[in-house]
């Protein structure tokens, strides 16, 4: 009985936590960190404000939880990449993962973009520590791929910046894309855009495109 009760409580807790995170992601994307209010987040989540502050003790902690989550998602595919891996496979799936996140969680990307546009005041320490270390490790892998002849000579920083800019564009500038195309992006459209982006990046790096991304 106790075990069942504990399991139920955990399930409810996780459900509420997800509702809060989803609501906060939307509010921060719309209003930025300074403009978003805990009460607005609670209203969108359809929970009392006290519940929000029970799971996240402050707006800052909630905001940082979301920022760290999106960075973790963006970087996860490349986290375990090693020099022995095929750069075509690693980069293709890295791009595809980032495009899928742009499709499924555009507000997370917009929230991150607003933070950067405002000078990244809440990410200063993260950039200097965790993100800088992650970047250094990825740059080293790319440099070794180049040294081994697996990749044409290119600046690893610019390569990553281009992947980030092009993939996140589909979230951050979704309104522009939809207006210029005359319709919203469907899942099929995202698949075509992903295949196109993979081909552009990989051929520019002198790599063969994996069969699954060749498209029609």
Superfamily of domain 1-57 in CATH is Homeodomain-like (1.10.10.60)
C-beta separation of 206 from 152 below 8 A? yes
* Residue range 75-98, pLDDT digits in tens: 887 888 999 999 999 999 999 999
What tokens appear for 216 in the block?
């029609």
Does 203 score more than 90 pLDDT?
A: yes
At 10, the pLDDT band (50, 70, 90 cuts) reads low
Answer whether residue 4 shows pLDDT above 50: no
Superfamily for domain range 64-208: Tetracycline Repressor, domain 2 (1.10.357.10)
How many Å apart are CA 145 and CA 202, to the nearest integer?
A: 14
More confidently predicted of 14 and 165: 165
Give the C-alpha separation, 73 to 75, whole Å: 6
**Cα(107)–Cα(123) distance, integer angstroms:** 18
Q: Which two tokens stand for residue 63?
A: 């905001």
CA distance 17 to 89: 35
* pLDDT at residue 7, as a whole number: 46
**CA of residue 14 relative to chain centroid, distance:** 21
Residue pair 202/88 in contact by the 8 Å Cβ criterion = yes
188: phi > 0 → left, psi -120 to 50 → alpha, else beta; which? Answer: alpha
What are the extents of the domains in the chain?
1-57, 64-208
This prediction has a pTM of 0.87
111 Cβ partners below 8 Å, 6+ apart? Answer: 25, 28, 29, 66, 67, 70
What number is the average pLDDT over the span 66-82? Answer: 87
């Amino acid at each position: 009985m106790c075990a069942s009760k504990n399991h139920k409580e955990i399930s409810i807790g996780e459900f509420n936590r997800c509702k809060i995170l989803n609501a906060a992601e939307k509010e921060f994307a719309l209003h930025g960190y300074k403009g978003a209010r805990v009460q607005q987040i609670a209203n969108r989540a359809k929970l009392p404000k006290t519940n929000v502050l029970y799971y996240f003790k402050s707006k800052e902690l909630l905001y940082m939880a979301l920022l760290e989550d999106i960075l973790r998602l963006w970087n996860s595919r490349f986290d375990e990449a090693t020099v022995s891996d095929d750069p075509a496979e690693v980069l293709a799936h890295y791009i595809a993962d980032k495009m899928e996140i742009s499709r499924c969680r555009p507000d997370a990307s917009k929230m991150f973009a607003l933070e950067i546009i405002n000078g990244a005041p809440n990410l200063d320490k993260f950039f200097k520590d965790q993100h800088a270390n992650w970047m250094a490790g990825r740059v080293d892998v790319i440099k070794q791929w180049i040294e081994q002849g697996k990749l044409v000579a290119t600046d690893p920083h610019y390569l990553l910046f281009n992947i980030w800019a092009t993939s996140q564009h589909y979230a951050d500038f979704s309104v522009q894309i939809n207006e210029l195309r005359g319709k919203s992006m469907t899942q099929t459209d995202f698949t075509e855009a992903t295949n196109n982006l993979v081909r552009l990046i990989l051929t520019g790096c002198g790599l063969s495109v994996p069969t699954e991304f060749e498209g029609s």
